[in-house]
Structure 1
Amino acid sequence: MNFKSPHIIQEGGVAYEIGKIYGKEIRYDFKKMQVYLEAKGKLLFGEKFKLYREDREIIYKLCSYLIRDKENCEKFEIDVHKGILLSGPVGCGKTSLMKLLKFLVPQQRPYEMIPSRNVVFSFNHLGYKAIEDYGNSNFFCFDDLGIEPYGRFYGKDCNVMGEILLSRHELYLNTHRKLKTHVTTNLNAEELEKRYGNRVRSRMRELFNLIAFSKDAKDKRT
């Protein structure tokens, strides 16, 4: 990463200038960010990858959050100290976008993408150490929240992701809001509350900015 030119990202021998530096400030260009994201997406996911026109507003909100655009974040009621809860129907592109967007601002601390079901599998093998490991101060994006099975360790059932979200909420409050947790989910607010309970749902309101695809968003995998 070029710390002197954080507005220029090198990919595959090509330099993508996604903004201009004015003093100590980068003024980003959304169109140029889209060009970079599509190019990076093709490198990550294959030549068929593309950004869809109908997703422009979602991508714009996510980019505004990542680059900490104060004016746009206020407009969209996004708190840059919170994480992102990206919801939408199966196949609408949530996971791909979250995998992709962390490359947009390489000078920021990156988050690690973790399938929620893998967290549960880890709990089934390691027990409560897994909750300690994923409830720590690392930056995570838990993918497909809500479709993971319940955990079971030595005959005791556990709502693993619910416990991890409670742990991360406590850390969030005790680290001056520096801890970032992101999630993707196919579930709506009512379904999340049914899955994790009102206590967790209440904490999720403090942990996350909700950014949602339309319930009619098409499946891009078909």
Structure 2
Amino acid sequence: MNKYSYHDIILWLEKKGVELYGKHFKIVETDYPIVYKLIAYFLKDEPSCLQYGLNLNKGILLSGPIGCGKTSLMNLMKHLTSTEHKFTIKPCRDISFEFIQDGYQIIHKYSIGKLYESQPKTICFDDLGVENNLKYYGNECNVMAEILLSRYDIFTAKKIQTHITTNLSASEIENSYGNRVRSRLRELCNLIAFENITKDKRK
């Protein structure tokens, strides 16, 4: 018998969503299978995670078409997560702009953390794929590829998790970031994917 009522949790998340995004916010029924998996993972509900094939040691890679609600769902999940598993959400585009301004120390900032932090943090990299290869003093760098490779090393050494949202498919990730990143992501994250036909909720 499951100790959680997922139906009640969805109603609670909807209320939270209305507070954050306005009264038009709704979790549509067709998205329930995705939302159930996210709830199970972020509540660390082991029996349900086992049923869904989710590994609680790994992070989440939430993929789906533009406008299907990935970012807003991850924002809502922050409210379900226990203190020890709290995470911050950082748009990949912002990281790229920081890189243009501050250079290679930005890769350190989002992988091993700043110098005065004793521990790297759990981060959700939002919208992987919208940032472009950027130049810093004429050197081109695939910033997110470097960060993700570093995050993989931290995961294997310290079990610090990484979450990602993206509208790229697995083959598009490989084209943009290379085979090494794609292969590391398999070990780093559980894949939870919206159907390609999911409607754009912003329209």
Query: Does the TM-score normalized on the shorter chain lie above 0.5?
Result: yes
Structure 1 moving runs of 4+ over 2 Å: 105-109
Matched, 1:139 2:122: yes
Number of the residue aligned with 1:198 = 179
What's the CA shift for 1:76?
1.4
Q: Partners of 2:171 and 2:198 in 1: how far apart?
A: 19
SS of 1:114's equivalent in the other structure is: strand
1:127 pairs with one of 103, 121, 131 = 103
Residues 89-108 of structure 1 mapped to structure 2, 5 A cutoff: 89-108=65-84
1:156 correspondence with 2:139? yes
After TM superposition, give the deviation of residue 151 of structure 1 in Å: 2.0
Q: What stretches of structure 2 of length at least 5 have no aligned partner? A: 113-119
Checking the alignment, whether the CA contact within 8 Å between 2:43 and 2:82 is kept in structure 1 is: no
Shift of 1:107: 3.5
Query: Of 16, 27, 48, which residue of structure 2 is paired with 1:51?
Result: 27
Distance verdict in 2 for CA 1:201–1:55, change over 3 Å = same
Q: Which runs of 5+ in 1 are unaligned?
A: 1-25
CA deviation digits over 1:158-215, x for unaligned, max 9? 000000000000000001x2x1110100000000000000011111111100000000
Give the CA deviation at 1:106.
4.2
Counterpart code for 1:214: E
2:115 equivalent in structure 1: none
Pair member with larger Rg: 1
For residues 122-145 of structure 1, give each alpha carbon's deviation from its aligned partner in whole angstroms, at most 9, with x where no partner exists: 111111100000012111111110
Separation in 2, partners of 1:216, 1:185: 15
Please give the alpha-carbon distance, in whole angstroms, between the structure 2 residues aligned to 1:34 and 1:221: 20
Residue 87 of structure 2 contacts residue 122 of structure 2 at CA under 8 Å; is this kept in 1? Answer: yes
Between stretches 71-80 and 57-66, larger displacement belongs to 71-80
Q: Which has the higher helix share?
A: 2
Return the letter of the residue paired with 1:208: C
Alignment-mate amino acid for residue 156 of structure 2: L
- 1:1-33 CA distances to partner (integer Å, 9 max, x unpaired)? xxxxxxxxxxxxxxxxxxxxxxxxx92211111
Q: Amino acid of the residue matched to residue 137 of structure 2?
A: Y
Write the distance in 2 (CA, Å) between the matches of 1:140 and 1:151: 21
Please say if 1:189 is aligned against 2:170: yes
Q: Percent identity?
A: 47
* C-alpha RMSD of matched pairs (Å): 1.2
Structure 2-normalised TM-score?
0.93
TM-score, length-normalised on structure 1? Answer: 0.85
